[in-house]
Structure 1
Amino acid sequence: MNSAPSASGHGVRLTAHPLQRVGAYALLALAGVADQQRSPESLTAAEFKHACRRMTADVVATADLPDTKAPQAFWLSASYLLWPNSKMNTTNRKSLSIAERRTQIGRWRSYSATVLDVPCALCGVAACGFYGKVDVPLGASVEHRNTTVPGHEGMALCVGCLASFHALPYGCSIRGGRAAALHSWDDDVLARMTRRQVHRTRQQALMSTGDTTATGRYSREVEALQGLRRYEHPMRAGVELYVFSNSNKQQALDVHSIEQPLAEWLRETLHPGQLGSGFRYLVRAHHTSKTLGSVRLAYNAFHLPERLAGTAVAYLARLTDALGGPPGETVELVALYQSFVREVLGVTQREIDQIEQLGDRIGQLLRTRPERGTLKEFEHVHSEPNKLQTWLKKQAVDWTLRREVSEPLVSTEQWRLLFEPGDRVRLHRDLLFISVLQHLAKQGWLADAATERNDQDDNLLVEERQ
């Protein structure tokens, strides 16, 4: 059995195919390369051969297993969603001897040194063969493809790209009948996250009973954010979560993306630091009776990122209404909110400063009437433009009559930010509301100290770095 390609044909190249890129970096980890600065393209023939032998040994070992319920049947179980109709899971598997299974799987995973007179469909170098769904995830089945002659596997691949696809599952989180790969066009991010996932997957394979169906709700999104938290350098690109199945029963692909500004903001705020406590409160703000805050926040980050800011405001409003004053989380959570709208949504610092100045003035007015209903009235009108306009006009009179001031309560620019039609007016009004709460909190109007409000451990995203 030839378990690795010849030295003359081992080259791995990074291509424009995200899953091939994940697989290429998985090969680098499987080769045992410790230098995190190296590219898969730097793999020597010996290193490449070592990585291929490890993969071949893993799949050949499944020949000894009676079925997917046996101990350490992880790869056999996963083969049905990764490599359907491969020699690992043939319909006559039970009638074959262990030796016959080993021989068939070994032949499937032998890497031909043949050089064809056609280019690889991904990297353009000479291909070593044609491959389809059995080897290439989400490839079209020969039964359904009408662009090639009957029985033709279709996709020309070189040895390096073929091995990258075989290595891809090591760079994936595999459970729940799906494989999830985290990709980034920032090669350093991709390298470090893939290396970590390869280690976890190999550990899972050693410990697994073969059942890959159990999974927590949105656990893939949580894992992805945990990966961002552990990355210590600025993000130069966003991240993409590929969730897929190559199964014959239900081939599927879902791609969820986090753009670079949000990815970098999440990475920075997930780390302990100036905004660390604010992020912990943001996790708390996402908590519901049915879903942990960490889980719901991770879901929103990948699926509905616009909800991150709104959830923080709604949380402060809810607590303010219940407590009769700003909660203890106010100052830290407002600072986090301001950083989000500035770094992710592109709100300028001048806009933030203008709204914050107005918030300070409104806060000064409210402090002259400390009765409970004063703050509640402002809370109820802040999100409705007509009511807020009426309320501000009324307060402007009071501001002018009661204080010796040269500036109006609301400037023309502030009025425009709050009410002129545009995409950000609701955002500006929310910013005004929490700026008022921030002013009152700093002036000692806190309704309580910031205490743990949830009974469950909600810190899946903010645990100590491992």
Structure 2
Amino acid sequence: MSTASVTTSAQVRLTAHPLQRVGACAVAGLAGVKDRRRSPESLSSEEIEFARGRMTADVVATADLADTKVPGSFWLAASYLLWPNSKMNPTNRKSLSVVERRNQIMQWRQRPTAVLDVPCVLCGQVACGFYGKVDIPLAASVEHRNTTVPGHDGMALCVGCLTSFHALPYGCSIRGGKAAALHSWDDEVLAKMTLRQVLRTKLQADLTTTSASAGVYSREVEALRALRTYEHPIRAGVELYVFSNSNKQQTLDVHSIEQPLAEWLRTTLQPTVLGIGFRYLIRAHHSPKAAGSVRLAYNAFHHPQRLAGTAVSYLARLTDALGAPAPETIELAGLYQSFIREVLGVPQREVDQIVQLADRIGELLRKHPQRGTLKEFEHVHSEPVRLQAWLKRQATAWTLQRQVSEALVTTEQWRLLFEPGDRVRFHRDLLFVSVLEHLAKTGWLAGTPTDRDDQDDTILAEENQ
């Protein structure tokens, strides 16, 4: 292919490569862009070169350092997981003078001037060279590549895409021997989250002498907080890329949150009525071994359906302990309904049908305000066969007491509760929490506040640190 058939621009483009996209937004952050609505593709040549200059200054400064244990060694330490075998960390580094190290690093990072007769494999602009593992995280190294001739790094890149990969680490949280990048196909979400991370990484580089250790699920917690502070609707899912380009262990783990859950998490984390329920959801995830926000963030990225199940289990434990609906019931019931509608896609009609049945059951239970009445319902709810038998008995009592033709349980409600399907478990849990909600609203043996409200301040303090 001749160079005449491709663009000769050295723009930064947003391509189909997630890590390149994060890097492209990081270039914008390094260039001083603060408007999340401005695309990296709008960067001028001067802005791109300014960003390249800042990155070059950071890596060149490592030439003066003896090793990764001295102050200011963040980028030198990070280079072993980002750019192994680069001019920053050659095997003979200790035998080189500071001037030799500096010259080698500057030669590595100088702007390529070559114009190849091939396009960039990512964006189609004129390529400036062929690159591998040293410059592109997770790419094959020259020594291990068997699809090209010896010495050929294989991946043709333009100046813009090469610059994006060099900027990628600024858009990552780097600690514990790995880098974590938050990506979204919603360009505005990607830009906002990356711009924020660029500021944090630069601060980390200034304050940290060596790579910080990673707390348990700290990357998921950081990602969840990024969703919490985003002010606009999220139009695409969010992916957490955790990787290491190290020669010792090259790894990549991708954890995804689909768009409905991402938007639900963003909106419920806001200070609204549902936000109060989310406060209780954090409390529900709390354990002596981990803060509620940590376990919640883990579930959001690894087991999202556990978010709803944890709320139900928490209410069941409190109800069992109190013998009555807990003070958190109404807010958590509303949050549960919101989750199954907006995240799981349960139609509003199905929710209404189950809530209608729950109100009828609540009326029956209120006739017998003994502790064991609710205990029995809690016991049968978890087992379909027992629940079926219990509903049949209550249906008889409902008809005899009221002497009406309207059944306690309609055919549609029975189908929703017991007909095999993906949603049947959530329908039965919805019935349970909705019965508790009905009893809580009517003040049936209402539970009294406990010291959990005081404990919650401690739990949320951990989450907000």
Q: Give the TM-score, by structure 2 length.
A: 0.96
* Amino acid in the other structure paired with 1:457: T
Percent identical among aligned pairs is: 73
Matched AA of 2:91: T
**Distance in 2 separating the partners of 1:117 and 1:36:** 35
Q: For residue 3 of structure 1, what is the aligned residue in structure 2?
A: none
Aligned residues of 1:14 and 1:21 also touching (Cα < 8 A): yes
Of 271-280 and 239-248, the range deviating more from structure 2: 271-280
Question: Which of 297-306 and 448-457 deviates more?
Answer: 448-457
User: Counterpart of 1:289?
Assistant: 288
Contact 1:270 1:461 in 2 (8 A): no
**What is the aligned-residue RMSD (CA, Å)?**
1.4
Q: Deviations over 1:143-180 (max 9, x none)?
A: 11111111211111000000000000000000010000
* Paired position in structure 2 for 1:73: 73
SS at 1:275's partner residue?
helix
Residue 187 (structure 1) aligns with: 187
Deviates further, 415-424 or 242-251: 415-424
Residues 1:460 and 1:174: Cα distance change in structure 2 (over 3 Å): farther
Partner of 2:261: 262
Structure 1 residue 458: deviation in Å? 2.3
Distance 1:407 1:348 in 2: 24
Q: How does 1:304-323 map to 2 (within 5 A)?
A: 304-323=303-322
> C-alpha separation between the residues in 2 aligned to 1:338 and 1:165?
43
Q: Which residue identity lines up with residue 353 of structure 2 in the other structure?
A: Q
Aligned-residue offset at 1:35: 3.0
Q: Give 1:458's aligned residue.
A: 459
Q: Structure 1's 460 and 86: CA in aligned 2 closer, same or farther, altered over 3 A?
A: farther
Distance 1:455 1:357, change over 3 A: closer
Amino acid at match of 1:283: I
1:429 matched to 2:431: no
* Larger deviation, residues 314-323 vs 29-38: 29-38
Instruction: Give the number of aligned pairs.
Output: 456
Contact 2:9/2:126, CA 8 A, preserved across alignment: no
Q: Is the 8 A contact 1:222 1:461 kept in 2?
A: no
Shift of 1:457: 3.0
Equivalences for residues 347-358 of structure 1 within 5 A? 347-358=346-357
2: CA distance, partners of 1:398 / 1:101: 87
- 1:154 and 1:372 map into 2 onto residues whose CA distance is 72
What secondary structure sits across from 1:115 in the alignment? coil
CA deviation vs aligned residue, 1:403-453 (integer Å, no higher than 9, x gap): 243411111111111111111111111100011100000011321227427
1:109-128 correspondence to structure 2 within 5 Å? 109-128=109-128
Structure 2 residue matching 1:139: 3-state secondary structure: coil
Distance 1:460 1:422, change over 3 A: farther
Secondary structure of the residue that 1:244 maps to in structure 2?
A: strand
Counterparts of 1:225 and 1:211, CA distance in 2: 22
- The letter for the 2-side match of 1:55 is M
What is the rounded CA distance, in whole Å, between the counterparts of 2:75 and 2:215 in structure 1? 21
Residues 51-66 of structure 1 aligned to structure 2 (within 5 Å): 51-66=51-66
TM-score (norm: length of structure 1): 0.96
Give the Cα separation in 1 of the matches to 2:464 and 2:222: 12
Task: Find the aligned partners of 1:45 and 1:416 in 2 and give their Cα distance.
Answer: 63
Q: Hey, what's the Cα distance between the residues in 2 that align with 1:283 and 1:385?
A: 29
**Partners in 2 of 1:250 and 1:230 — Cα distance?**
34
Unaligned runs of 5+ in 2: 1-7
Matched-pair contact (CA < 8 Å) for 1:359–1:432: yes
State whether structure 2 residue 87 is matched by structure 1 residue 83: no
Q: Is the 8 A contact 1:280 1:462 kept in 2?
A: no
Q: 1:343 maps to which residue? A: 342
Amino acid at match of 2:153: E
User: Is 1:10–1:159's contact at 8 Å kept on the other side of the alignment?
Assistant: yes
1:189 and 1:160 mapped to 2: Cα distance?
21
Tell me the residue number matched to 2:107: 107
Could you report, residue by residue, the CA deviation over 1:276-297 in whole angstroms, capped at 9, with x for unpaired residues?
Answer: 1000101111111211110011
Task: Using the TM superposition, give the Cα deviation of residue 37 of structure 1 relative to its aligned residue in structure 2, in angstroms.
Answer: 1.9
**1:131-154, Cα deviation, whole Å (9 max, x unpaired):** 110000001011111111112111
> Are 1:447 and 2:452 an aligned pair?
no
Give how far 1:11 is off.
1.2
| 8 Å CA contact retained: 2:311, 2:332 | yes
- Structure 1 residues 453 and 380 mapped into 2: Cα distance closer, same or farther (>3 Å)? farther
Query: Is 1:367 aligned to residue 361 of structure 2?
Result: no
| Structure 2 Cα separation of the partners of residues 26 and 107 of structure 1 | 22
Matched-pair contact (CA < 8 Å) for 2:118–2:127:
yes
Residues of 2 paired with 1:447 and 1:59: CA distance? 61
Residues 100-150 of structure 1, C-alpha deviations (whole Å, 9 max, x = no match): 110000000011121100111111111000111000000101111111111
Letter in 1 for 2:423: R
- In 2, are the aligned partners of 1:270 and 1:462 still within 8 Å (CA)? no
In the alignment, the residues of structure 1 paired with residue 15 and residue 124 of structure 2 have an alpha-carbon distance, to the nearest angstrom, of 10
Q: Deviations over 1:67-95 (max 9, x none)?
A: 10111110000000000000111111111
Aligned partners of 1:422, 1:341: CA distance in 2, in Å? 15
Aligned equivalents of 1:306, 1:164: Cα separation in 2: 36
* Shift in Å, 1:461: 8.8
TM-superposition CA deviations, 1:42-74 (whole Å, max 9, x none) = 111111110000000000000111110111110
> Could you tell me which amino acid in structure 2 is paired with residue 459 of structure 1?
L
Contact between 1:10 and 1:48, CA under 8 Å: does it hold in 2? no
For 1:421 and 1:82, locate their aligned partners in 2 and report how far apart those are by CA, in whole Å: 49
Residue 4 of structure 1: aligned partner: none
SS in 1 for 2:459: coil
Amino acid of the structure 1 residue aligned with 2:394:
Q
Answer yes or no: is the 8 Å Cα contact 2:9–2:125 preserved in 1.
no
Are positions 1:140 and 2:140 aligned together? yes
Which deviates more from structure 2 when the two are superposed, residues 240-249 or residues 151-160?
Answer: 151-160
Per-residue deviation, residues 338-360 of structure 1 (Å, max 9, x unmatched)? 00000000111111111111111
Instruction: Quote the offset at 1:20 in angstroms.
Output: 0.2
Which AA in structure 1 matches 2:161?
Answer: C
Measure, in 1, the Cα distance between the counterparts of 2:145 and 2:38: 38
SS of 1:457's equivalent in the other structure is: helix
Matched residues in 2 for 1:131 and 1:175: separation? 26
CA distance in 2, matches of 1:387, 1:313: 19
Measure, in 1, the Cα distance between the counterparts of 2:64 and 2:9.
31
Separation (CA, whole Å) in 2 of partners of 1:430 and 1:400: 25
Query: Alpha-carbon deviation of 1:9?
Result: 5.0
